[in-house]
Structure 1
Amino acid sequence: MRRSSTRRTGVLLQPASGVAAAGTGNKAALREQEKIDTFFNQYADKTEDNCIGPDGIEALCEDLGVSPTDIKVLLLAWKLQAARQGYFSLEEWRKGLKAMRVDSLDKLKKALPALQQEVVSPYSFKDFYTFSFKYCLTEPRQKTLDLETACQMLDLVLGSRPHVGSFLHFLQEQSEYKAMNLDQWSAFLRFCDEIKSDLSNYDESQAWPLLLDNYVEWAKKRMQTLS
């Protein structure tokens, strides 16, 4: 009988310690969220509930020491999975900063370089690149970016990658295309990764968008003129 009683006592103690551990974990999570919310409220829009608007983001950028047009700001929007350009919702802020383990301005400053390292991975960069296009769609049912915006974003996101400068020159010089869709946008990243600088391995039969067929034709003529 004593052995049975001892075993029952042991069984009863286990969930009690588990509850205590869970309680400690919940308190820590609540403290973390309180800090994240306090950080959010420093920049939150006073006229729109649970949202950091353009003015707040500009103030955040100033405190971070970065320009609002810096790629680091776009990387932050990507990490938060911001649904609307120029706005961070409280839910986006909570999820994103929790994933980054950030709850203050100083921690966010230190975390930004890590975001740049994160997109070194081809998989992460592709996700960031696709997000960059969708983030600029500011109107309901909008499917394309005007060429001015597309060129600005390609320059910001792809920078000095092969073909970028020449492709931007082509887009600005031609008059047939007024906008760029997601298929064309996505294909250009693959084009940059796969096509040689002299375009010798470009194959029209591989179902590239017509925009890129036209670009290659233009670029080859330009190479001949410059040679």
Structure 2
Amino acid sequence: MKAATMCEFSRQEFIGGLQSLGIDTIEKFREKLPYMRSELRDDQKFREIYNFAFVWAKEKGQKSLALETAIGMWQLLFAEWHWPLVDHWCQFLQLKHNKAISRDTWSQLLEFVKTIDLQVSNYDEEGAWPYLIDEFVEYLTANGIIQRPRN
């Protein structure tokens, strides 16, 4: 729909978005939903949607995304993409961070999800990850969610 603001659609955005999808009836809208969901499983399309979501969901004039909004967006986005650690990530943020999410953290989380295995065995503590992701790995280990070899 190319909406500029989350939860707000101008008439032009709504109609233009539907037209670009070839939708002119409720039935065509229903038929198109599975295709739209399937796009979330395409790596490149997911990256585009994920990056768009940060800008779209943050409040006007803000550089960061409110924590509760970020958590909601991650739960929604990763519902189709199936990142098994998303609930642990969200719980960690609520317990340990409780601050807005920067664009850098938002972007780097996707890289973490795409490159680091579920046991975090290929995570390099000396890598250029944001401190929040480093702390998340420590949280996973300290709470027995993952088992990492000690150096």
Matched ranges for 1:16-35 at <5 A: none
Aligned to 1:83: 4
Question: Deviation digits for residues 30-57 of structure 1, max 9, x if unmatched?
Answer: xxxxxxxxxxxxxxxxxxxxxxxxxxxx
Check the 8 A contact 1:162/1:192 in 2, yes or no: no
Give 2:23's aligned amino acid.
Answer: V
More strand by share: 1
Check the 8 A contact 2:58/2:66 in 1, yes or no: no
List runs of 5+ in structure 1 lacking aligned partners: 1-79
Check the 8 A contact 1:187/1:208 in 2, yes or no: yes
Aligned to 2:50: 129
Query: In structure 1, what is the Cα distance between the partners aligned to 2:56 and 2:124?
Result: 31
Aligned to 1:29: none
Task: Determine what percentage of the aligned residue pairs are the same residue.
Answer: 34
Query: In structure 1, what is the Cα distance between the partners aligned to 2:146 and 2:23?
Result: 53
- How many residues are treated as equivalent by the alignment? 145
Give 2:86's aligned amino acid.
Answer: V
Question: CA, structure 1 residues 213+101, in 2 after alignment: closer, same or farther (shift >3 Å)?
Answer: same
Query: In structure 2, what is the Cα distance between the partners aligned to 1:224 and 1:180?
Result: 23
Question: CA, structure 1 residues 207+106, in 2 after alignment: closer, same or farther (shift >3 Å)?
Answer: same
Question: CA, structure 1 residues 224+94, in 2 after alignment: closer, same or farther (shift >3 Å)?
Answer: closer
What is the TM-score with the length of structure 2 in the denominator? 0.85
What is the TM-score with the length of structure 1 in the denominator? 0.58
* CA RMSD in angstroms, aligned pairs only: 2.0
Matched, 1:195 2:121: no
More helix by share: 1
Distance apart, 1:212 and its partner CA: 0.3
Determine which structure has more spread, i.e. the larger CA radius of gyration: 1
